[in-house]
């Protein structure tokens, strides 16, 4: 019965150790996910800081990819945190139950072992007294048989006493291991609280990142609308320019014709001026009395012209 109880206590300690290993593995996984989220936030902040508001085309794919990846990792982390929290709560309850059972059983077993040790020590003392009272062996066959029987009982009691002492030492070792497991559980609880706080901070950062991306999307839509309006204005200006191209070419041709006509008129005026000058020279060389009517008519005609 005592051996079975000791094995139950040992198995309970092994279960606590396995639960501790599971908790450590869960904490490591949470730390890995936390580092992944921190890296994603770092990349998101660097991408937001490196892009200017006038470059929506360069920013859109990266922001969308980062946001999608960040949301997926956050959902996965929340699911894992929920699962791990449930497992941790179950493990905590199991540890509390095992701890209560172990404490109660250990105390009962320790008291039983102490009582057994006291009883064995009393029996050993009684046997020693009886052996001493019977004297040295060899005085008679009955005394020799009694002495041998008492020696056997004494040896058996000493063996049982050694086993009881060993069980007590094992219980003390289990108590130390239990205290160590409790300290580790306390540290893990503190680490879990810290991780939950960190997850809350990351969720706030994620919400802020979503808000920034929403504002960037609004700004991107406004810039796209402005670009569409500018493109429409450019198309309208090009259409008007194409419509004015034909009248402009016609005006250029008219201007060229007028310039040609003006040049011809200048030449005619120059020729006429030379003709008038020649006529004036001829008139100055001929006396006024002998001037013919034809010359006067010619001059008057040139003046009127």
Task: Please say if the pLDDT value at position 57 is more than 80.
Answer: no
In angstroms, the CA 298 to CA 201 distance is 112
| 107 lies in some domain | yes
Residue 271, in any domain of the structure? no
- Asked if 36 and 115 touch (Cβ cutoff 8 Å), the reply is no
- Residue 46's pLDDT band (cuts 50, 70, 90): low
pLDDT at 298: 45
- Enter the pTM of the model: 0.34
Contact 14, 179 (CB under 8 A): no
Mean pLDDT of 137-165: 69
Contacts of 115 (CB under 8 A, 6+ apart): none
12 is a domain residue: yes
Task: Tell me the chain's radius of gyration from C-alpha atoms.
Answer: 58
The verdict on residue 243 lying in a domain is: no
Q: How confident is the model at residue 106 (pLDDT cuts 50, 70, 90)?
A: low
Out of 70-74, 130-134, 282-286, least confident range: 130-134
At which residue do the structure tokens 């996965």 appear?
A: 76
- Please give the tally of structural domains in the chain: 1
Q: Is residue 251 part of a domain?
A: no
User: Kindly report the CA angle at 37 between 35 and 43, in degrees rounded to 5?
Assistant: 105
In a domain, 302, yes or no: no
Residue 24 and residue 6: Cα distance in Å, rounded?
Answer: 27
Domain enclosing residue 182, as ranges: 2-228
> What pLDDT is recorded for position 228?
92
DSSP 7-43: HHHHHHHHHHHHHHHHHHHHHHHHHHHHHHHHHHHHH
In a domain, 296, yes or no: no
Say how far apart CA 219 and CA 93 lie, in whole Å.
Answer: 52
Residue 199 lies in a domain: yes
Query: Could you report the per-residue pLDDT of 73-98, keeping only the tens digit for each?
Result: 667 766 666 666 666 666 667 666 66
Q: Taking 70 as the threshold, does the pLDDT of residue 166 lie above it?
A: yes
| Residue whose pair of structure tokens reads 């039983």 in the numeric block | 112
Q: How far apart are CA 75 and CA 59, in angstroms?
A: 24
Q: Of 264, 105, 225, 234, which Cα lies nearest the Cα of 170?
A: 105
């Amino acid at each position: 019965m005592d051996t079975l109880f000791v094995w139950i206590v040992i198995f309970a300690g092994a279960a606590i150790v396995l639960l501790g290993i599971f908790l450590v593995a869960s904490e490591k996984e949470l730390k890995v996910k936390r580092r992944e989220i921190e890296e994603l936030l770092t990349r998101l902040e660097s991408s937001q800081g490196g892009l200017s508001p006038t470059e929506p085309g360069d920013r859109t794919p990266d922001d969308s990819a980062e946001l999608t990846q960040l949301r997926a990792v956050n959902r996965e982390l929340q699911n894992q945190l929920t699962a791990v929290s449930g497992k941790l709560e179950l493990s905590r309850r199991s540890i509390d139950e095992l701890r209560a059972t172990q404490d109660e059983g250990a105390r009962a077993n320790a008291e039983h072992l102490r009582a057994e040790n006291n009883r064995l020590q009393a029996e050993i003392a009684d046997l020693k007294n009886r052996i001493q009272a019977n004297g040295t062996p060899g005085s008679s066959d009955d005394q020799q048989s009694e002495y041998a029987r008492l020696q056997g009982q004494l040896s058996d009691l000493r063996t049982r006493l050694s086993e009881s002492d060993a069980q007590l030492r094992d219980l003390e070792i289990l108590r130390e291991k239990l205290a160590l497991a409790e300290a580790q559980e306390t540290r893990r609880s503190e680490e879990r609280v810290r991780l939950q706080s960190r997850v809350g901070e990351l969720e706030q950062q994620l919400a802020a990142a979503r808000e920034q991306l929403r504002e960037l999307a609004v700004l991107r839509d406004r810039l796209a609308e402005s670009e569409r309006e500018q493109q429409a204005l450019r198309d309208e200006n090009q259409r008007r320019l194409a419509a004015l191209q034909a009248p402009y070419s016609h005006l250029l041709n008219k201007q060229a014709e007028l310039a040609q006509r003006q040049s011809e008129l200048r030449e005619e005026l120059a020729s006429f001026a030379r003709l008038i000058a020649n006529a004036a020279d001829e008139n100055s060389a001929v006396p006024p009395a002998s001037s013919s009517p034809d010359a006067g008519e010619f001059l008057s005609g040139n003046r009127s012209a």
